[in-house]
Amino acid sequence: MNLYKVKNGKELRIMPDGRLDTDSAPELESEIKSIPDEITDLVLDFSKLDYISSAGLRVLLSAHNIMDERGGKMTVKSASKGILEVFEITGFNDILHIEI
């Protein structure tokens, strides 16, 4: 998986490309934990994400909690139908802010 980042003011957009699984989840988790305090809006652009595993879901929950603790928000954008189905099955669609 490759990660692309774009910072725009207080917003950070992270675009994972590939699979978010046991092998790649630690890389995204590390990026999220190193987000500067001035970032209040985290956007995870999943337009190029092919697959997400339970390890990836754990990272999303952690990112959501980090942003919530600092009074910010996390938004998942452009997820594929398959990833949206995973969110629905696991109940993550009730936890995360998702924009199609």
Tens digits of residue pLDDT in 55-80: 999 999 999 999 999 999 999 999 99
Helix (H, G, I), strand (E, B) or coil at 27: helix
Report pLDDT for 100: 85
The whole-model pTM stands at 0.95
Question: What was the pLDDT predicted at 45?
Answer: 98
- Over residues 6-49, the pLDDT tens digits come to 999 999 999 999 999 999 999 999 999 999 999 999 999 999 99
- Residue 30 CB contacts under 8 Å (≥ 6 apart), including other chains: none
CATH number of 2-99: 3.30.750.24
Q: What are the residue boundaries of the structural domains of the chain, listed by start?
A: 2-99
